Structure 1
Amino acid sequence: MAHPFLVKDIAFQAGLSTATVDRVLNGRPGVRQQTEARVKAAIRELEKQQSGLEIQGQRRTIDVVMEAPERFTDTVREAFETEAPTFMPTTFRCRFHFAETMRPQDIAQLLDRIRLRGTDGVVLKAPDMPEVAGAVARLEQAGIPVITLVTDLPNSARTAYAGADNRAAGETAAYLIGERFAERSATVLVTISSSRFRGEEEREIGFRRVLREHYPAIRIVEISEGHGKDTETGALAAKALAAHADINAAYSIGGGNRAVLAAFERVGRDCTLFIAHDLDQDNLALLRERRIHFVLHHDLRSDARMAFRAILAGRSGNGQKPAGARLSAVEVITPYNVPVA
């Protein structure tokens, strides 16, 4: 596999060990197809970065670290790669470190490696756990700004948060469901990928508050820890549907929507109203097929711009959002108002 890059650079970009990358590059046996694909993707990413560095101007390297399903990280990658050229003559080199699930200690170790290797900033989507907050503090102490993305770490030393008002998003979902079922009973299946994420917790808090205050007849059945994966989330949804014959709606905070819909279909039950988050490729297709009814969307490209600006500004010194920072607007998307890319 021809390439002009050091093995250690490919390994860092791919999130693999140098020994694993060496096996892939030299065609040795015992390598999974998925691992080989990660190495090839890392080389393509390095090639794009190298091409961008040929442009004269200020150069900045940032590391985007995320625990999230692949369908979402693909959307985030596209947003950052699309927005980076708009900051010319400053050239942003983005190194992506994505995994569908990561232990807090593994995230902390990755952040420490990034700190020791050197970077101009870190964009982070991670659970609100002490190990992660500690690693964020060490980055900030080293003068490296950390921008939390989509889900915040408000009690950490992070420089800024880029994302939507998650509590308002949950309140919006409650309003849509409450108005739909104002004259009839409903039990809503609420799916959360993991209780460790502050952003998902904020959505749930907002959702429950509005239902409690304005639509008290609507019940909630919650499932959690499916991590947005289809297999795990589908199993949890199936168990909930079997235990609660009155579930007739869904508010998906954590993803795995195809699996949730399949669980409804297997028990022969209609999902009268399905509300999801994020306009990724899965949700876009489900929306156009009329299998989900509303998508609560915020512009990830706006979040990427916010992150780039915050990194350029450097840390603010007091842990607050840089001047001019604002939360992304939450939009209610139907099949008739899908944003044009």
Structure 2
Amino acid sequence: MPHRYKVREIAQQAGLSEATVDRVLNDRPGVRENTRAEVAQAIADLDKQRAQLRLNGRRFLLDVVMQTPQRFSDAFRAAVEAELPAFAPAMLRARFHLWESGSTERMADGLARIRGSHGVILKAQDAPEVVEAVDRLVGAGVPVVTYATDVPTSARCGYVGIDNHGAGVTAAYLMSQWLGTAPSGVLITLSGTVFRGEGEREVGFRTALRGSGRDIVEVSDSDGIDDVNERLVLDALERHPGVEAVYSAGGGNTATVAAFDRIGRACRVFIAHDLDADNRRLLRDGRISVVLHNDLRADARLAMRLILQSHGALPPEPVRPAPIQVVTPYNLPG
């Protein structure tokens, strides 16, 4: 059967005879499984070599656009910058457009101002204005990859991040295990209701706790900013004296801990997301119980790969949700 490589090329790469490779490619009997595996590996290696040749000397300028607390944008920026050299011999550069709070109009305007880009990595609100801005970029030949929270009705070429609904279910499972028979209510903190990812976490969490009889109290629209979040959490705790546990689907966890301290209430269980600098410190100090995390460098690498794939510079690969890591003080990565 026809193949993208000549039989001779595959045979040279695999160190096998051309006759053997021909039998494997045509799925003839009498070939050992390890020989078939050697041929498959040789083809994969040839794909990588071809990709390297396509990348040689090419230059790509990427834009990272995010509305998110600085502690998270700092961590993701470091991840992107660490992964840029991994795409050599291509030369990748990144521009960063980062802010902590703002309207969907600001996000749409920020996207409209992008010029000369080969691709955008985007963490934004799922709103019609954002969808239109993404579609305009894609229509102009600029692929967009959404990160951490999706804009699924847009023309974006892919989403990178965890399964947010699954993360919420995981948080509910851990919460139930730790609280046991304690009648504690649970506080859910969200940075904003317009971010689909956080909303999916909340839905997963609430669904998994349905029927538990626990009081679930929501605090949202803080943009993950500490002073705003502390005020909102303090008000919720004063109105709900039975709340003794937290699921932070968004951020602002230093402020949430501070609010518990201000009213002198112990927090039995505190589940958070992302190993930013604040959460590392809180985890080490025993102020939060566990962090649901994913490898930001792996996320950055995949997002950049999807953009290069859109330009035909790399062969396509399947995209899967990033695995969720359950991080405690005892398995905290360096």
With normalisation by structure 2, the TM-score equals 0.81
The aligned residue for residue 339 of structure 1 is 333
Matching residue of 1:179: 177
Which one of the candidate residues 289, 305, 322 is aligned to 2:285?
A: 289
- CA apart distance, 1:217: 2.2
Runs of 5+ unmatched residues, structure 2 = 1-55
Q: Displacement of 1:184 after TM fit? A: 2.0
Q: Which runs of 4+ in 1 moved over 6 A?
A: none
Match for residue 139 of structure 1? 137
Q: 2:260 aligns with which of 257, 264, 280?
A: 264
Q: Distance in 2 between matches of 1:229 and 1:133?
A: 25
Say whether 1:83 aligns with 2:79. Answer: no
Whole-Å separation in 1 of the counterparts to 2:177 and 2:289:
14
Number of residue pairs matched?
A: 277
What's the RMSD between the two structures over aligned residues? Answer: 1.5
TM alignment of 1:204-223, pairs within 5 A: 204-212=202-210, 216-223=212-219
Q: Does the 8 Å CA contact 1:294/1:332 hold for their aligned counterparts? A: yes
- Which residue of structure 2 lines up, in the alignment, with residue 66 of structure 1? 66
Query: What is the deviation of 1:109?
Result: 1.4
Map 1:234-249 → 2, pairs under 5 A:
234-249=230-245
Letter in 2 for 1:263: A
Deviation, 1:254, is: 1.2
In 2, the alpha carbon distance for the partners of 1:273 and 1:180 equals 7
Query: Which SS does the other structure have where 1:119 is aligned?
Result: coil
Cα distance in 2 between the residues matched to 1:204 and 1:217: 17
Partners of 2:89 and 2:61 in 1: how far apart? 14
Distance 1:201 1:270 in 2: 27
Within 2, Cα distance between the matches of 1:67 and 1:132?
12
- 1:158 is aligned to 156
Distance 2:304 2:273 in 1: 24
**Do structure 1's residue 225 and structure 2's residue 229 form an aligned pair?**
no
305, 324, 327: which one aligns with 1:330 = 324
**Is contact 1:144-1:315 (8 Å) kept?**
no
1:121 CA displacement: 0.1
In 2, the alpha carbon distance for the partners of 1:182 and 1:75 equals 34
Q: Is the 8 A contact 1:241 1:247 kept in 2?
A: yes
**Contact 1:143–1:315 (CA under 8 A) maintained in structure 2:** no
2:311 and 2:141 map into 1 onto residues whose CA distance is 7
Q: Deviations over 1:254-273 (max 9, x none)?
A: 11111111110111100011
The one-character-per-residue Cα deviations of 1:88-123 (angstroms, maximum 9, x if unpaired) are: 111111000000012111211111111xx2210000
Larger radius of gyration: 2
Please say if residues 178 and 218 of structure 1, whose CA atoms lie closer than 8 Å, have aligned partners that are also in contact.
no
Answer yes or no: is 1:118 the counterpart of 2:112: no
Corresponding residue of 1:129: 127
Contact 1:152 1:199 in 2 (8 A): yes
Cα deviation, 1:39-78, whole Å, max 9, x if unaligned, reads: xxxxxxxxxxxxxxxxx82110000000001000000100
Whole-Å Cα distance in 2 between the matches of residues 266 and 101 of structure 1?
26
> Following the alignment from structure 1 to structure 2, what is the Cα–Cα distance between the partners of residues 315 and 237?
46
Give the secondary structure class of the aligned counterpart of 1:326. coil
Shift of 1:183: 1.7
| Separation in 1, partners of 2:216, 2:137 | 40
- 1:171 and 1:127 map into 2 onto residues whose CA distance is 22
How far does residue 315 in structure 1 lie from its aligned partner after superposition? 6.7
Fraction of identical pairs, as percent: 50
